Amino acid sequence: MHRSDGMMLGEGQEIEITGIIMRSQMIRGQSIATITNGNETYKVIGKEPLANGIAKVSGILGESEGETVLYANSVETIFGDLAKNECKKIAEGAGKTIPIMDIEPLVTDEIMNALKPKIAEAARKILTARKLGRFILLRFHGDADGVSGAMALTKLCRMYAIQQNSAVYSVKDAMKDLAQIHYETMPLVIILDFGSSDESAEGIQLLKASGAEVLVIDHHPCGEKIKKNSDLFVSPWIVDDAQNAEHETFGPEPKTLNAKQKTGDPSQYPAGYLAVEVARAGGLNNENYEVEPLSRISCAGDKSGIMKIDEKDKERALVLDYMASYSGFGNNLDFYENIMKKPELFQSMLLQAKEKIEQIYESVGKTAKITEESGIKIVSIDLEKLAKKHEFPSKGKIATRVFESTQHECSNTGKPLVVIGYGGGSVVFRVNEDAVARGIEANRIIEQIKESMPDFAETGGGHAKAASVRVRDGFEQNVAKEAVEIIKRLVGSKSIS
């Protein structure tokens, strides 16, 4: 048997290794486990129980059932900060030997070129966790963007995947995850397509305090706390200019830039697409799995224009949204993938999804109120009677359908448009490009709502063109009216109609 430094290890040789104990079990009165320090890995056999964790094991190499094993003479379990430091050192050492693919992103522009180092680091963290046998928990947002990204990451390595139907990683979510990872050694928790806002800070802090490593992949506008709380934050909103010094000069030291200082809209780089790039950097490609189509589904689901999509991509995204509305399938992501491969069932779901959207849209006219404020067309919709909880279409989908129809009318004239849907404990916003150009941004409206109505607005966020906020039941219409007043202030209107 050889060590990584090339030295031969032979039967009867006494060795000592400090590493991560995993897959520990008792068989016929013997404790059997695996220990790795990131470079060497041994099967360990001992008389005393070997608990999962960090330990220093001394023993003699021998043979059992045709393989080299380490017969443990002594086991010293390491706890506390020493264990955390040792685990971090092991992970760093193991990560250095993992090859990462240096490939062009599917979208080649300034933002994606700047994100390449973080994408490579994310791939390295995931592959390092796989190499060390660490537990990986993936929480993905329950829509086409989140599902497609989760499908890509879970093809890179085995993960326990949980669907998340909220944009906030709450303390309640953290408590559920802590119960899952409590006995794991330095687990890796991946939060995909949500969790960037400061409202997720407390939940993520609990993960960090438990000893978990936290990786966040998201494309929503981020708060300051996420950059401090996560071990790695992959986001188009925060990019490093070190890779783009030829375009912008900010002095000799690398600086972190808001992506708005670069080209393009950061929100247009969906988290599912970013996850695909992480998977590609980790070695996943169209030869071992059709990964690139997932990026197009992600873009279709989030109405992103960063890459060319066709009608089939839109249909796949719609079916994923339809399925996700009814489900929280745990780690059974294969169910989503299998539906996409069954033409008859896929077409049935697609037809149902389209019919449900159109049925709801036909009823919208009875509740919609159209006004104009300072040249801004505002469509307000009472969603209380239209959207059913945990069913398709969601409040956001209904607002999007109304927006797309009204936008078709506004696009010819260049009229700014804002759609506000309220009901069922939330208020959702859809904003067109012309409104954004005049300073009307959905996430900005929500931030001002939180300031002006702190007793009614709870959690929320999103993009400049699409966002939502949870509000106290019964006060949705009040918040919607306040949003109209905020729009007036944002465009400088002095009149209140």
Reduce the secondary structure of 19-76 to three states and give it as a string.
EEEEEEEEECCEEEEEEECCCCEEEEEECCCCCCEEEEEEEEEEEECCEEEEEEEEEE
* Residue of 306, 315, 139 lying closest to 218 (CA atoms): 139
Q: Say if CB 273 and CB 287 are below 8 A apart.
A: no
Residue 106 CA to residue 121 CA, distance in Å, equals: 18
Q: Residue 294 is encoded by which pair of tokens? A: 């997932």
Residue 146 CA to residue 270 CA, distance in Å, equals: 9
pLDDT at residue number 9: 59
pLDDT at residue number 441: 94
pLDDT at residue number 65: 79
Q: Which fold has domain 98-340?
A: inorganic pyrophosphatase (n-terminal core) (3.90.1640)
pLDDT at residue number 12: 84
Average pLDDT per run of 10 along the chain, which is 497 residues long? 49 90 85 89 88 90 86 91 89 92 95 96 96 94 96 95 92 96 92 94 95 95 87 89 32 39 75 98 87 96 95 97 80 84 96 94 86 92 85 91 90 91 94 93 93 89 90 94 94 49
pLDDT at residue number 240: 52
Residue 257 CA to residue 245 CA, distance in Å, equals: 12
Q: Say if CB 215 and CB 125 are below 8 A apart.
A: yes
* Residue of 106, 95, 169 lying closest to 134 (CA atoms): 95
Q: Which fold has domain 361-490?
A: Diaminopimelate Epimerase; Chain A, domain 1 (3.10.310)
Quick one: DSSP state of residue 235?
Answer: B
Q: Cα 272 to the chain's mean position, in Å?
A: 8
Quick one: DSSP state of residue 388?
Answer: P
Q: Residue 420 is encoded by which pair of tokens? A: 């506000």
Question: If you search the block for the tokens 């070997």, which residue do you land on?
Answer: 50
Residue 177 CA to residue 188 CA, distance in Å, equals: 11
Domain ranges of the chain: 14-78, 98-340, 361-490
Q: Say if CB 138 and CB 161 are below 8 A apart.
A: yes
Q: Say if CB 20 and CB 134 are below 8 A apart.
A: yes
pLDDT at residue number 382: 93
Residue 107: partners with Cβ closer than 8 Å, 6 or more residues away? 269, 273, 306, 307
Q: 367: part of which helix (H) or strand (E)? A: none
Single-letter residue type at 426: S
The structure's pTM equals 0.85
pLDDT at residue number 256: 42
CATH 3.30.360.10 for the 14-78 domain, yes or no = no
Q: Say if CB 279 and CB 153 are below 8 A apart.
A: yes
